[in-house]
Structure 1
Amino acid sequence: MAQDYPNIADHGLIGDLQTAALVDVNGTIDWFCIPRFDSPSVFGSLLDAEKGGHFSVRPLVDDYVTRQLYLPDTAILITRFMSEAGVGELIDFMPVIEGDATDRHRLVRMLRVVRGEMTFQGDIVPRFDYGRTPHEIQPVPDAGVMFTTGEQSLTLHRVGPPVIHGSRRAGRIELVDGGIRITGTLMAGELTGVMLESGGAAPVQTTEEEMLRLFHATRRFWRDWNNRSTYRGRWREVVARSAMTLKLMTYAPSGALVAAPTAGLPEQVGGERNWDYRYTWIRDASFSVYALLGLGYTEEAEAFVKWLMDRIRESAGNGSGPLKIMYRVDGSSDLEEEALHNLSGYRDSAPVRVGNGASDQLQLDIYGEAMDSIHLADTHGLQLPHAGWVQIAEMLDWVCENWNTPEEGIWETRGGRKKFTYGRFMCWVALDRGIRLARLRGRPADLERWIRERDAIYAAIMAKGWHEERGAFVQHEDSDVLDASLLVMPLMGFVAPNDPMWLSTLDAMDDELVSDSLVYRYNPAASPDGLRGSEGTFTLCSFWYVDALARSGRLDEAQLIFEKMLTYANHLGLFAEEIGLTGEQLGNFPQAFSHLALINAAVNLDYQLDHGSGVVDPVLAIGRRRGR
């Protein structure tokens, strides 16, 4: 039933830098995968309210309201329950793991009453392996419960004694529907909680002091990390929340950034555009380098560039070129797509897909985004070793040979290969950045060839990517369809932001792709993409539009649209992939692309407002000010 599902936007995100959980505004964890982002779910009621599994906490009163917020400058989530009888707070967090990959992950749910009294009910109903694997329940008196499948386990540790102290009413535990139910009452000032742990630990009675120690350590980590930001612009709170969201989606052992922590959330409710985004796209993560360096997070940018160089060194060497478009967070590339027929999907949006069949597509743009991030990292002192340069040179030789090959494109369409303008333009970026690095660092390269092919790409785009009748750059040479991906042309330096050809393209997009502040990727009716149904506007493109307007001298308009876009965030400042016409969030949530684009738009817009439109990129300027 649709009423059993919260809105996609009605969630907060918590995590430990190896996996993450979604908590809805009513205090239910309805998405949680262990031990990694891309592992099967143990709580997945977001994709099937009946069979997915959940961990809910709610007050046993008839009339109450909830509010949700993050503890300032942290990723600790507070859900407040307010009634005439009392006010309670559920505090959710995961102690951060910065070291090696581990199967041991802890999720703490701390409960307290701040006014009056409240009786709470907590239901812990896991469903392992996306609800496909049965489990056993092993209660341990006064300590907790262990849920086991033979291969995987989840342990519930109780915090404090079995009697919820002070209230003289025992916390009652009972078995319900393959899970357990805990009921108890708290008075004002009283505190209790539970800790979930993966990895096979036996249940133990955890003390309040240990729970509070973990809370303070987690708070200290996030506040220290947040204080490292160098951003001092107009939108500090918004940018800080987006930065912490990106950090939550970073797999610390490898430095890889997942596109989103969720799978199967629909781009159109009831439709088939339901993809698994729990992987690292070369494109998305490469754009994150610009965002991270713009905020001063050099270590995170360096970790991803190292991960990227490892992928380049491996050189897939198959039909998709030296690089695959996406990988698992550990760098492996087994992403076979399957449909989970046992799950009904979010509000009956089927099929629910895990894995991603687009992983073997040829998408030429990834080479431009990868090289732009490597070049940008170099300007900040993260120089390549010799072996890395050799691999890059080989990759760019491949780009020289293949830039004119038909491909699937940035939007991963399933309607056949085309000669997409964006893919060609990004091949130009790849060769341009390679040429700059070779000259700057005196590295060996076939510069004559690289320059010749770079210039040939430029000529091809101007001849075939430009549509004279439309007065605009178009999606591919055989169409007149507009494509919002081309909004980054001035950002990447391919066209001047005041070039008449570019201004005409921007005007055409204003008329066809822009709805108030919201921007569509393209018009599927005019450019069939091999999928049924429609989709919402793409948040990434809306923030690219802000940047394009600012660079083209439309600063007042850019600032207003940026502010309008902030009104589409959820109550915690989080964005999904897309926004529907009524403002609802659609697609996987939260989406890294949306948040890194917000950061980049904020940093660039600040700089343009302070220095005038069309000036040098602020992130590049940072490198220059440091003497690099």
Structure 2
Amino acid sequence: MSDDEPSGRDEEYLPIAEHGLIGDLRTAALVGTDGRVDWFCAPRFDSPSVFGSLLDARRGGYWEIAPVCQVATRNQFYFPDTNILITRMLTADGIVEIQDFMPVLRDRDPHHRQRLVRRVVNVRGRMRLAARIAPRLNYGRDPHRLEPMPDGVRFVGASLTLWLRSSIALEVDGSDARAEFDLGGGESVLFDLEADTGAGTPDACAVNPAAAEQLFEATVAFWRRWLRQSTYTGRWREMVHRSALTLKLLTHEPSGAVVAAPTLGLPEQVGGARNWDYRYVWIRDAAFSLYALLRLGFTQEAQAFMDWLTGRLREATDGVEGPLRVVYSIDGHADLPEEVLEHWEGYRGSSPVRTGNGASGQRQLDIYGELIDSVYLFDKYGVGISHESWTDLCAVLDWLMEHWDSADESIWETRAGQQHHTYSRLMCWVAVERMIRMARRRGLPGDLGRWTTVRDRIYHQIMARGWDPRARTFVQRLSADPDRPPEDILDASLLLMPMVKFVSPADPRFRSTVDAIAGRLVADSLVFRYDPEQAPDGLDGTEGTFSICSFWWVEALARTGEVEQARLALEKMFTYANHVGLYAEQIGLTGEHLGNFPQAFTHLALISSAINLDRAMG
């Protein structure tokens, strides 16, 4: 089978967009509009999967609940201002809904019970339903035995045990559990799947109706209490708050880390090979997330991430590729070797399916600017950074002083060899400039003379070698010779130039760059990150438009005074969200979601663009 050909099993895979997300700030699960949990890792985001039919319909494992009769209509929505997901199915026999949620405990409780609760409620009529719980542990590689229990069953694997309790009797079917049951109007059935995290034997009374209702109400109260901290009162409250709730779901509360997405292997092109594992902490993504959370008033999350980041700064070493890695595991490990799951076919035949991420070994100089800019904002709007953190930052900056003029893979993590990227130079300028600002504002010690000299050198290099006077645009890569113009290759990351205060949005150079991007990278409101035919990235296949670039486009229009165009572009982008307001990494030719889902980077860009457009509109 070629990379361009899907597997022929498309009917077995829901579109990526046909899912909602639930979670408990440790891990998350995707629930399809068909009532199937087809992605769930336990006990952490980056743990091996329990249910993985999203990436292999036959061998991945799933948890399905559905009416036996034909379903005419399916709807899915979030219980207002929460991350509790409701899936409703309308049939000739009546209406049933599945309430899916994962209870959240505060205070980083080490005895947290990790539970996936599914309450099935008959809204109208009388209906027969079927459930099948078919875990496939360790990405479907580990067998398990099934042990009947008085109130359910237990799945016992080599490295994970799952307790499934139910308010109805379950049947053993090989290594799976199943049930068929009738529900009349107003009747309900409860299922409670708990991962053994060392918290002790599950409470047998937790599957009675009163306990289920109490758990539901406590989960509602948690999410609404958290969301009340938001300071956003602008025009797009529903979309901004859904993005904030999504970012919170992608936060690993015990460590403070923010993962890029809860999934791996979802393709940038169906049938293609651009499939990556995003269940880790990218310094860049997390730094932008910190900015978005600070803008909305969520200072506790910002402080938790700063604590995580402080640990990485403390561990920084003068390695070949820099003192910091591009991507880390949730608990701060940088060794994330890529492994191919050869036994999985991939989403609709999109292989290989990879775990781990080879970007962890790349040099991406831009991360230092994004990191230090987020620290600058935290220092300005949070509680301030400590002496130890400042000392660590100065050590990181000392390394950058010596290496900023180097080639790297930059923000898009290309695999075509290191280049001298304009965006990386831009963010190196940001790193030095923000350190100067912090030192001056707070009187902190630093070699301001040297820092200022390097900052100005970077500025002049970008203006001389990152600007194409013929095309009148900033370009993706610096020219090798300051006396010769660079290649005319556009890059949407350069839309950030005024946002990081490198140029004024009224600067003629930036405005002409915006015009060039509009003509060559923008399709309606959707924006490609670059043209891979002009700038080969070392990867086979094609990709869709990048949703984060589309929101950067909105913000660039707003900052250049094109407020009406910005508003129209933002409203168009909202139409590409899925039915519950979530975005994958990319949007394809026909509006389909592509890439890992949902992506933190996209949702934080939505928040930033909405806030700045609100400000521009007054």
TM-score normalised according to structure 2 size: 0.95
Name the counterpart of 1:124.
133
Name the counterpart of 1:492.
500
C-alpha distance in structure 2 between counterparts of 1:101 and 1:37, whole Å? 17
Amino acid at match of 1:54: Y
Deviation at 1:320, TM superposition (A): 2.0
User: Displaced runs of 4+ in structure 1, greater than 2 A?
Assistant: 100-104, 173-178, 200-206
C-alpha distance in structure 2 between counterparts of 1:515 and 1:355, whole Å? 33
C-alpha distance in structure 2 between counterparts of 1:345 and 1:413, whole Å? 22
Q: Identity rate of aligned residues, in percent?
A: 55
Name the counterpart of 1:198.
195
Deviations 1:437-462 (A, max 9, x none): 11111111111111111100001100
Name the counterpart of 2:443.
442
1:349 maps to 2:357: no
Matches within 5 A, 1:454-603: 454-478=455-479, 479-603=487-611
- Unmatched 5+ residue regions in structure 2? 1-8, 480-486
Deviation at 1:225, TM superposition (A): 1.0
Tell me if structure 1 keeps the 8 A contact 2:471–2:488.
yes
C-alpha distance in structure 1 between counterparts of 2:255 and 2:612, whole Å? 28
C-alpha distance in structure 1 between counterparts of 2:67 and 2:84, whole Å? 21
Deviation at 1:285, TM superposition (A): 0.7
Deviations 1:39-87 (A, max 9, x none): 0000000000000000000001124321101000000000001112111
Amino acid at match of 2:146: I
Deviation at 1:490, TM superposition (A): 0.4
Deviations 1:199-231 (A, max 9, x none): 165563532211111111000001111111110
Tell me if structure 2 keeps the 8 A contact 1:290–1:373.
yes
C-alpha distance in structure 1 between counterparts of 2:343 and 2:93, whole Å? 41
Name the counterpart of 1:134.
143
C-alpha distance in structure 1 between counterparts of 2:317 and 2:279, whole Å? 21
Q: Which moved more, 1:206-215 or 1:422-431?
A: 206-215
Deviation at 1:327, TM superposition (A): 0.7
Deviations 1:511-570 (A, max 9, x none): 110000000000011101000001000000000010001000100000000000000000
Matches within 5 A, 1:308-319: 308-319=309-320
Name the counterpart of 2:19.
11
Amino acid at match of 1:121: A
Name the counterpart of 1:365.
366
Deviations 1:346-389 (A, max 9, x none): 00000000000111100000000001000001111421111111
C-alpha distance in structure 2 between counterparts of 1:256 and 1:356, whole Å? 17
C-alpha distance in structure 2 between counterparts of 1:71 and 1:50, whole Å? 32
Tell me if structure 2 keeps the 8 A contact 1:19–1:34.
yes
C-alpha distance in structure 1 between counterparts of 2:236 and 2:329, whole Å? 33
Name the counterpart of 2:91.
83
**Residues 607, 469 of structure 1: alpha-carbon distance in 2 compared, 3 angstrom cutoff:** same
Deviations 1:284-338 (A, max 9, x none): 1101122111111111112112211221111043222111011111112221110
Amino acid at match of 2:88: R
C-alpha distance in structure 1 between counterparts of 2:159 and 2:288, whole Å? 37
- Unmatched 5+ residue regions in structure 1? 163-170, 611-628
C-alpha distance in structure 2 between counterparts of 1:347 and 1:315, whole Å? 41
How many residue pairs were aligned? 598
Name the counterpart of 1:285.
286
C-alpha distance in structure 1 between counterparts of 2:606 and 2:440, whole Å? 33
Deviations 1:474-518 (A, max 9, x none): 001143210001110000000110100001101110011000000
C-alpha distance in structure 1 between counterparts of 2:46 and 2:404, whole Å? 32
Deviations 1:11-33 (A, max 9, x none): 00000000000000010000000
Amino acid at match of 1:185: D
C-alpha distance in structure 1 between counterparts of 2:506 and 2:588, whole Å? 32
Name the counterpart of 2:3.
none
Name the counterpart of 2:380.
379
Name the counterpart of 2:122.
113
SS in 2 for 1:266: coil
Deviation at 1:103, TM superposition (A): 7.4
Name the counterpart of 1:148.
156
Deviations 1:129-164 (A, max 9, x none): 0000111000113x11000113211110113xx4xx
Tell me if structure 2 keeps the 8 A contact 1:305–1:373.
no
1:340 maps to 2:341: yes
Name the counterpart of 1:625.
none
C-alpha distance in structure 1 between counterparts of 2:140 and 2:317, whole Å? 34
1:57 maps to 2:65: yes
Amino acid at match of 1:423: S
Name the counterpart of 1:185.
182
C-alpha distance in structure 2 between counterparts of 1:90 and 1:241, whole Å? 20
Deviations 1:382-403 (A, max 9, x none): 2111111111111111111100
Deviation at 1:180, TM superposition (A): 1.1
Deviations 1:235-291 (A, max 9, x none): 001111110000000000111110000000000000000000000100011011221
C-alpha distance in structure 2 between counterparts of 1:123 and 1:316, whole Å? 50
Q: Which one of the candidate residues 20, 34, 47 is aligned to 2:42? A: 34
Tell me if structure 1 keeps the 8 A contact 2:29–2:37.
yes
Q: Which one of the candidate residues 30, 33, 36 is aligned to 1:25? A: 33
Name the counterpart of 1:404.
405
Q: Which one of the candidate residues 13, 34, 43 is aligned to 2:51? A: 43
Amino acid at match of 1:378: D
Name the counterpart of 2:171.
174
C-alpha distance in structure 1 between counterparts of 2:550 and 2:111, whole Å? 38
Tell me if structure 2 keeps the 8 A contact 1:35–1:103.
no
Tell me if structure 2 keeps the 8 A contact 1:18–1:97.
no
SS in 2 for 1:404: coil
Q: Which one of the candidate residues 51, 67, 75 is aligned to 1:67? A: 75
**Residues 210, 103 of structure 1: alpha-carbon distance in 2 compared, 3 angstrom cutoff:** closer
**Residues 6, 101 of structure 1: alpha-carbon distance in 2 compared, 3 angstrom cutoff:** farther
C-alpha distance in structure 1 between counterparts of 2:582 and 2:17, whole Å? 8
Deviations 1:171-208 (A, max 9, x none): 5x333352111110110011211100001655635322
C-alpha distance in structure 1 between counterparts of 2:157 and 2:192, whole Å? 19
C-alpha distance in structure 2 between counterparts of 1:516 and 1:101, whole Å? 49
C-alpha distance in structure 1 between counterparts of 2:351 and 2:398, whole Å? 42
Name the counterpart of 1:261.
262
